[in-house]
Structure 1
Amino acid sequence: MAHNGETNFIGGRWQGDPRSEIRPVHSPIDGSRIGLMSWSSRQAAAEAVSAARAAQPAWGKASIWDRAKAMRRIGEAIAARRADLAALLTLEQGKPYAEAFFEVGKSADGFHLAADLVKYLEGNTIPTEDPGKRVMTFYRPRGVYAVVTPWNFPVNIPVEYIAPGLAAGNAVVWTPAPTTALVAAALARAVEEADLPPGILNLVTGAGAVVGDEIVSNPGTNAVGFTGSAATGKQISLRAAGKPQLMELGGNGPVVILEDADLDRAAAATASGCFVNAGQVCSSSERILVHRKVYADFAERMAAAARAVVLGDPREDGVTMGPLNNAAVAAKVAEHVQDALGRGARAIVGGKRPDDMPSPLYFEPTVLTRVAREALINTEETFGPVAPLLAIDSDEEAFEVARDNRYGLVSSVFTQDIDRAFRYVEAMPTGMVNINDTSNYWELHIPFGGVSGKDSGMGRVGGRHALTAMCDLKTATFTVG
């Protein structure tokens, strides 16, 4: 943990920023001070870009096998620190330790996956009209990647960009969300342990509007990777105009429960999608469309699942949900719930912040019925532990409600009719459709991202899809004899 506030890692050295201040970091669990971070300046971010530019050419020319070995060393270093990283992740982000331990494990897997896949980053030979010509394609690193990441999965989401980016031969300048700067620094220390050349990975902490803006707009960065809100994604797109951009942005389902669904299975999977990480997941089950014939039965099952959630200090055994990460998201969740209630919804479980918790960031697991289509909780991304149930009467109505939303990331459908399930796969305006499973189902190698015309991002993270996205495809032509 960075007790002295030196949370910047630039050119292979840990340092603060003498031009800016050191700020305390507080745990969302109880508001206690847990460390210090550098609230860095644009100059520090620019220095990190310069360090990356100096280091990248040699790294890009290194053997793919050598880069793969380095990725494997990083994965092993993370695995060796798994318990400590998970404990810090829980303390700073607020998720239960079991969830944090799982996340750190997946981040180690992410580096191992990049080590494996980069060895098979193969181009093609292309037939030509001219019989005397030969054409081949191959992948080359883009150069320096600016990576900006959020606080909800502050260990694994960065790895979704850093691992394939480094494996492909890029250098990375990374700005994490300020509310999880300490665990970001701890992750960077694990990378440092793998003995990469100085300047290949650089970390700069501080305000996104300052250091994040600097790295995405700086002429020294060649491309951008970002996970976060749709609004911030649009700002970054403008500031990074002309650069390749890989973005995974917000989501808002939906999850569709049809009248022939296995309701026990559907409720268990949907509740997981609502309450894991206190609902702070871009693929959360944030709006749930339930066929009117099974609406009451499904609502009862969701209420039982919500009552089974144990809200409390996420470091304690038996606690299954901790606080929200920060005041802004807590305020938004409260606003969305109050808006829904004001439009006629009913909270059959929860609906408010509890009075007996050690910080104001806790929110009760909540199930809302009779939710209106115009409610904010249906039209916007809530990012909290809320299950809003909307009634539908037909597939056509489900498609209409699904399309009437600016997001298009992940949806789920629960039905026992395989033909109907695949009709939903074809019709749902989302980049991923899960059949009879939680909207949160995903594995590291699976393509993940939004659809065109929506505000859920561009490109695909996940496995080889991120790897190829973080490369330039180069074409070579030559004449035979």
Structure 2
Amino acid sequence: MSEMPTPPRTQLFIAGQFSDGSTGESFEVRSPVTGQAIATLPIPGQTELDTAVRKAHEAQAAWRKLGVWKRAEINHRIGDALERRIDELARLQTLEQGKPLAESIADVKEAAQLFHLHAEDAVRQHGETLPSNDTAKRMFTFHAPMGVWAIITPWNFPLLMFAEFVAPGLATGNAHIVKPPSHTSLTVLAAMDALLEAGVPDGLVSILPGEGDFGGKLVAHPGIDAIGFIGSSATGAKIQATAGLKPSIMECSGNGPVVVLEDANIARAAKAAVDGAFFCAGQVCCATERVIVHRNVHDDFIEAVLKYSTTVSLGNPFDPATNLGPLNNEGVAAKMDRHLADARARGLDVLLGGARQTGFPTDLYYPFTVVDGVTEDSLLSREESFGPVLPVLTGADDDDILRIANADALGLQSAVFTENLTKAYRFIEELETGQVVVNDSNGWWDVNMPFGGAGGKGTGWGRIGGAYTLNDMTNVRTGVIHLGA
């Protein structure tokens, strides 16, 4: 292993100050890369939560009145400060999360980009004048901030998903209490130096890593006005049950299919399916979770997948030759174990991988795995595996493929491979996912994409991306002026 980075921040961040907290309790952070303890973090309690919420309301009252151009200027400064720290933050993220360093560098760059993007979005967010039945009235709308947001982020993209909420939230006049998972909070805590350098007023952002019931206490706190969540659908349902009528943005699990039709470019489809299955070790809500292939091209597709799979290299994520690092935690590794055990019990064809790799510093290193002959009732089909596995199902024709694709409780993102424009439009219309990508990886996204789940599915609501997030993090208000005497 190359020289490991040292976490620069191992304290809570409350209203502009780093603090050891008051509970006296702590959490040991271990790297999935090395297995070694890399930090000890304080565990926040009710006192820290109450302080953060109180300071957030005080700061937000002034921030919302500051004016969008000044808020945008500070957002730009945050983006600039993050860009100056790309190497430091990327190396720290790889140490605590496990993804290859090249992926972490891309994450930090995109996080910085989001602060610039939302600065520009915010100064262009506007309302409209509406015609009234009463000629003596003038109606107009405007966007007002929600207030204080509870932001709960997952462990797969620690800094990027922090930025997906805080960048648009700050630009539109909100304050934020952010709860990252304790075992992947070091990068976000280190990034607070960038916010301080940029001049973010104390109180607008607090970072309280927590486990157990702390998230529930945060969501239920009477001083929290709205909730932003990225994570599993099961956790999202618990959060929403606690939140009640508080406004929320919920971006939850995906089991989005990759559809390969009879006329597809097979080499391109195979490459995209493999890329989408091992990126971030498959720990992505829009990963290649299921591939549904037309039976007439099944054999060619499998051959192409196995050929391209030789490009996947499991190893030390700090090594430039590695493009597949360890899984982040034991929970997701155990889920992979369970899904592969179910596959073998059903007699499915495990063509590559299928078990944890030995000889590494931790037992979280899982090789790229390909399973063929996957049945609709298997765990690999019914559940989001969230690991580096490519399960292949077969459909008899286009109608059968659509039926299999849509027979799932989740509906986040999907991909379809076809050279026929009419078929592409049909699948865009009829696949029950929030986004449909034609002839590219299911994991493709863009910072301007309104990313989120389809209606009627258990994938949440609201949109992450571009001006859509600004709209979801603000309240549309209406003013009515009487012009008569």
- Normalising by structure 2, we get a TM-score of 0.97
Query: 1:223 is matched with which residue: 215, 218, 226?
Result: 226
- Residues 455-470 of structure 1: pairs in structure 2 closer than 5 A: 455-470=458-473
Give the aligned partner of residue 254 of structure 1: 257
Give the one of 297, 301, 308 matched to 2:300: 297
Name the counterpart of 2:10: 5
Q: What CA deviation, in whole Å up to 9, does each residue of 1:93-128 have, x standing for no partner?
A: 000010110110000000000110000110000001
Does the alignment pair 1:376 with 2:379?
A: yes
Deviation at 1:184, TM superposition (A): 1.6
Gaps of 5+ in 2: 1-5
8 Å Cα contact 2:9-2:186 kept in structure 1: no
Are residue 241 (structure 1) and residue 244 (structure 2) matched?
yes
- Aligned partner of 1:445 in structure 2 is 448
Q: Per-residue displacement from partner, 1:422-448 (whole Å, max 9, x unpaired)? A: 100010000000000101111111100
Number of the residue aligned with 1:64 = 68
Larger mean Cα displacement after TM superposition, 189-198 or 416-425:
189-198
Q: Which string of whole-angstrom CA distances, capped at 9 and with x for unpartnered residues, describes residues 75-100 of structure 1? A: 01100000000000111100001011
- Among residues 412, 417, 435, which one is paired with 1:414 in the alignment? 417
Q: Does 1:92 align with 2:96?
A: yes
Counterpart mapping for 1:371-410 below 5 A: 371-410=374-413
SS at match of 1:155: helix
Instruction: Name 1:33's counterpart in structure 2.
Output: 37
For residues 197-346 of structure 1, the aligned pairs below 5 Å read 197-207=201-211, 209-346=212-349
Contact 1:307 1:365 (8 Å CA) reproduced: no
- Equivalent residue letter for 2:83: A
Deviation at 1:317, TM superposition (A): 2.0
**Range with bigger deviation, 244-253 or 36-45:** 36-45
1:81 matched to 2:85? The reply is yes
Given candidates 158, 165, 174, the residue that maps to 1:161 is: 165
- Aligned-pair identity in percent equals 41
Taking the aligned partners of 1:428 and 1:60, their CA distance within structure 2 comes to: 40
Q: Is structure 2 residue 26 aligned with structure 1 residue 22?
A: yes
For residues 83 and 206 of structure 2, the distance between their equivalents in structure 1, rounded to whole angstroms, comes to 21
Query: 8 Å contact 1:307–1:349 — kept in the other structure?
Result: no
Q: Is 2:447 the counterpart of 1:475?
A: no
Q: Distance in 2 between matches of 1:149 and 1:308?
A: 31
User: Which residue in 2 is equivalent to 1:361?
Assistant: 364
Match of 2:195 in 1: 191
Contact residue 99 and residue 280 of structure 2 kept, 8 A:
yes
1:144 pairs with one of 142, 148, 158:
148
Length, aligned pairs only:
479
For residues 274 and 195 of structure 2, what CA distance do their matches in structure 1 show?
A: 35
Residue ranges of structure 1 left out of the alignment (5+ in a row): none
- Structure 1 residue 3: Cα displacement: 6.1
Asked if the contact 1:344–1:371 (Cα under 8 Å) also holds between the matched residues in 2, the reply is no
Contact 1:306 1:366 in 2 (8 A): no
Give, in whole Å, the separation in 2 of the partners of 1:124 and 1:348.
58
Shift of 1:4: 7.2
**In structure 2, what residue type is equivalent to 1:345?**
L
Give the residue type in structure 2 aligned to 1:294.
V
CA–CA distance in structure 2, aligned partners of residues 366 and 291 of structure 1: 21
Query: In structure 2, the residue corresponding to 1:61 is in which secondary structure?
Result: coil
AA in 2 matched with 1:423 = R
Secondary structure at the residue paired with 1:356?
coil
For the Cα contact (< 8 Å) 2:22–2:48, is it kept in 1?
no
> Contact between 1:46 and 1:214, CA under 8 Å: does it hold in 2?
no
- Measured in 2, the distance between the counterparts of 1:25 and 1:437 equals 37
Report SS of the residue matched to 1:234.
Answer: helix
Partners of 1:189 and 1:37 in 2: CA distance: 17
Between 1:29-38 and 1:261-270, the stretch displaced more is 29-38
Report deviation, 1:344. Answer: 1.9
Q: Which amino acid aligns with 1:436?
A: N
